[in-house]
Structure 1
Amino acid sequence: MPVPKSTVENSPRKLLRDVVLEKMLAAIQDGTLQAGERLNDDELVRWLGVSRTPIREAIAKLVDYGLVDMEANRYTRIATPSAKQFDDALQVMLGFAELGARWGVPKLDAAGEKAALGIIEDLRSHAESEDRAVNRDLTALLVLLVRATDNALLETFTGSLVPRVQFLALTAEEFIFWDVKQALDPLRAAVTGRDGEAAAAVIRALARTLDDHLQTLRAARA
């Protein structure tokens, strides 16, 4: 692994292990840490500029997320994702999105509505220009709706699932789903009307369409 210049700063607002976790997540997403790559404590200490303790705590969290494989006294390495793992994680994430829409949309305050509508417009723009930022927008909308539910358990589960889906999506180019723009007008109407059931129905229909899209692409490649 090339060892970049350390960018970790001690922050009074975050535990050091959380800062390390964010840096390692970003490194996995941008390819600095690649699938199958073994993690070496000494290299990570030099790169991150911290002791082994917060690094090991961050790695334990990455194991929980499914992003790192570990076997005691043998190896610690970045996981190698499969299409089946991606499909499973995406299915669960879309289920959480449906729950977030059903329970969260009716609870949106004015600021929450404004934020949701802004993300929807970003989705429209990025889908029309076929910008990969579509995936980031979808994640942002999911997180916003789940937070609006005020359900701590759902938020905890979503927080651990999102990094896993983002990691698994690195091997699934077909996850870039430009046709999401077809769902945006009814979703916008549901948000402005605080209609959780209508918003959930939009997400459910989108999930079915995305599943058909993935299966068609994979059948064509087989």
Structure 2
Amino acid sequence: MPLTAEAAVPRSLLRDEVLVRLREAIVGGALAPGETLRDQELASWLGVSRTPVREALLMLAEAGLVVARPGTSTVVSSLDARAVRDARDVVAAMHEVAVRDAVGRLSADHLRAMQEAAAEFAAAIRAGDVPAALAADDRLHRVPVEVSGNRAVAAVLDQYTPVVRRAERLRFSSLAGRDSIDRHDDLLRLCAAGEAEAAAAVAFDTWHSLPTDRT
């Protein structure tokens, strides 16, 4: 019997959209640590049924962004230092792999996109605009990830980067965020020079330098 994809695809896409919206709300602080998440309220807020909300919450629980308590409630997780440290280590390793694989294939357009994102990041940090800094940082690091073509790396980053980003909001709100400007400059210089191993090491250090003792 032929598969009827029409019924399955929209539900999957809807779940993914709900996942993105809820994840952004948690990372951005609109949904605060310890806040109870009721699927009916979230469904009304997003204008969807409860099913994609429940599915998205399960995925957020796997990523450590929410804590599901069977039979009771689901709450936004606190910024646990161990969870942030574990996610940071994994994310740093994935970016190291991506940069090492991508350096030899970065075109002039790729490098230009990274340079523009780095400049926007630096401007946002100096202006104290944390959301803009995070967005620019995402654009910069996304380039080598996409160029590497490693879908396993991309999948792992998609799961664990939001955990790191919650902590990054604290870091980029402080003077410590300015250190990333220099690391970006080093990364761009080494990528442009084709020095894959050195660039990969900087990529790892950029992410692994996130302090976890303040979360």
TM range (shorter): 0.7 to 0.9
Counterpart in 2 of 1:201?
A: 201
For the residues of structure 2 that align with 1:103 and 1:204, how far apart are their CA atoms? 13
Counterpart in 1 of 2:178?
A: 178
Q: Which moved more, 1:17-26 or 1:118-127?
A: 118-127
1:182 positional shift:
2.3
Would the alpha carbon gap of residues 87 and 109 (structure 1) be closer, same or farther in structure 2, given more than 3 Å must change?
same
Would the alpha carbon gap of residues 98 and 46 (structure 1) be closer, same or farther in structure 2, given more than 3 Å must change?
same
SS in 2 for 1:15: helix
1:204 positional shift:
4.2
Over the aligned positions, Cα root-mean-square deviation in angstroms equals 2.8
Structure 2 residue ranges without an equivalent (≥5): 1-9
1:152 positional shift:
1.1
Counterpart pick for 1:80 among 59, 75, 78: 78
- 1:104 equivalenced with 2:102 (yes/no): yes
TM-score (norm. length: structure 1): 0.77
TM-score (norm. length: structure 2): 0.79
Q: Which moved more, 1:88-97 or 1:131-140?
A: 131-140
Percent identical among aligned pairs is: 30
For the residues of structure 2 that align with 1:140 and 1:127, how far apart are their CA atoms? 15
For the residues of structure 1 that align with 2:184 and 2:49, how far apart are their CA atoms? 46
Give the letter aligned to residue 91 of structure 1: D
1:60 positional shift:
1.4
For the residues of structure 2 that align with 1:123 and 1:197, how far apart are their CA atoms? 24
CA deviations on 1:148-174 (whole Å, 9 max, x unpaired) are: 111111111111111121234456555
Counterpart in 2 of 1:156?
A: 155
For the residues of structure 1 that align with 2:175 and 2:204, how far apart are their CA atoms? 17
CA deviations on 1:24-50 (whole Å, 9 max, x unpaired) are: 122223333211111112211221111
Structure 1 residue ranges without an equivalent (≥5): 1-11
| Structure having greater relative contact order (Cα 8 Å, sep ≥ 6) | 2
1:192 positional shift:
2.0
1:136 positional shift:
3.3
Would the alpha carbon gap of residues 143 and 18 (structure 1) be closer, same or farther in structure 2, given more than 3 Å must change?
same
1:55 positional shift:
0.9
For the residues of structure 2 that align with 1:161 and 1:185, how far apart are their CA atoms? 25
For the residues of structure 2 that align with 1:170 and 1:130, how far apart are their CA atoms? 11
For the residues of structure 2 that align with 1:58 and 1:205, how far apart are their CA atoms? 31
Would the alpha carbon gap of residues 206 and 47 (structure 1) be closer, same or farther in structure 2, given more than 3 Å must change?
closer
- Structure 1 residues 50-61: aligned runs within 5 Å: 50-61=48-59
For the residues of structure 2 that align with 1:29 and 1:170, how far apart are their CA atoms? 8
1:131 positional shift:
4.1
